[in-house]
Amino acid sequence: MLHVSPKETESNENNQAKPGDFNFLKVIGKGSFGKVLLAKRKHDDEFYAVKVLQKKAILKKKEEKHIMSERNVLLKNVKHPFLVGLHYSFQTADKLYFVLDYINGGELFYHLQRERCFLEPRARFYAAEIASALGYLHSLNIVYRDLKPENILLDHHGHIILTDFGLCKENIEPKGTTCTFCGTPEYLAPEVLHKQPYDRTVDWWCLGAVLYEMLYGLPPFYSRNTAEMYDNILNKPLQLKPNISNAARELLEGLLQKDRTKRLGAKEDFNEIKAHVFFSPINWVDLNAKKLMPPFNPNVSGPSDLQHFDPEFTEEPVPNSIGKSLDNALITASIKEASDAFLGFSYAPPIDSFL
């Protein structure tokens, strides 16, 4: 047990984490601005996923607003069972660190690739947990905008955990819209492709696309040729093969409705999804309390079990620079500019939340 002197508990600042508090063990993922590592906190041997981002790369692409937005959204997630939680965020001269829940049941994408498609009860369970997470974000006036199987993780029991909040848009009121063209090609809603203002129903389109992929093995309007795929999303009617129930068919038609004003969720948001007949077997109170038995158990033996991570990541050596900061002598003007760009990034939980 770490002994904390009264002095150290006086302020939140003294509770700040730093790179030297962790042993970085394995690379478990990669993004556009850095890597995700499995790390163990030295003083209590707790495991975390630490997302390490290069400030230089973020500034070069002018993405600092998205990163700050990701931090703000992460701070609001703590209260939801299907959203990844933030423990600390901190920065060094050249890097940003997010210390997150460590989830090691694998990406939904990984399991879907392995099994090609899921049976309807399993797809329903995942879709319900995802919808619950999206409904919660919407209740905070946050639109997620990047739902895809790579951003959906399974925890060690087999529950859904939504991750990666870099494209979230905050402060979108129930009837509010936004215009930024962003997302992943296969899952883009028609209104985003049309570069029209769009609202929170964009997330329900993506839920439809992910549910379709879980049931059929490919996204709904998929083509290897991106231009053709965009044309399909905009113009091709939704075609559903007969091997799914009428309830699933009706839900997919409602979610993958090209006109967002007629889409399921356009009037009552999450309440419309929840009330759909496809979800009638789901008790939503039990679902949110994680009382429903997941249809699949990832069978991980413990935190060091990395069987569900891509060996392409886990076999990569951990960069030496991850846990170190630049020497003060190397701090250049561009690094000073970087520290101004991320003011207020650091976060530590209030001391009393540990008691």
Q: List, as residue ranges, the binding site.
A: 60
> Using CA atoms, how far apart are residues 329 and 327, in angstroms rounded to an integer?
5
Spatial contact of 18 and 323, defined as CB atoms under 8 Å apart = no
Q: Which of 101, 146, 164, 269 is catalytic?
A: 146
| Structure-token match 């319900």, residue found | 128
The DSSP bridge partners found for residue 53 are 34, 96
Spatial contact of 182 and 65, defined as CB atoms under 8 Å apart = no
Taking CA 146 as the corner, what is the angle to CA 139 and CA 59, rounded to the nearest 5 degrees? 105
Q: Residues 200, 202, 205, 210: is their CA dihedral positive or negative?
A: negative
Q: Residues 260, 266, 269, 272: is their CA dihedral positive or negative?
A: negative
Helix pair 246-255, 120-139: axis angle to 10 deg: 30
Residue type, 310: D
> Using CA atoms, how far apart are residues 171 and 166, in angstroms rounded to an integer?
15
> Using CA atoms, how far apart are residues 203 and 170, in angstroms rounded to an integer?
14
> Using CA atoms, how far apart are residues 144 and 200, in angstroms rounded to an integer?
8
Active site residue 286: no
Q: What secondary structure does DSSP assign to 149-163, as a single string?
A: GGGEEE-TTS-EEE-
Using DSSP, state whether 237 is helix, strand or coil. Answer: coil
Q: Which residues are annotated as a binding site for ATP?
A: 60
Tokens at 108, concatenated: 């939904």
> Using CA atoms, how far apart are residues 81 and 290, in angstroms rounded to an integer?
8
> Using CA atoms, how far apart are residues 59 and 333, in angstroms rounded to an integer?
13
> Active-site residue numbers?
146
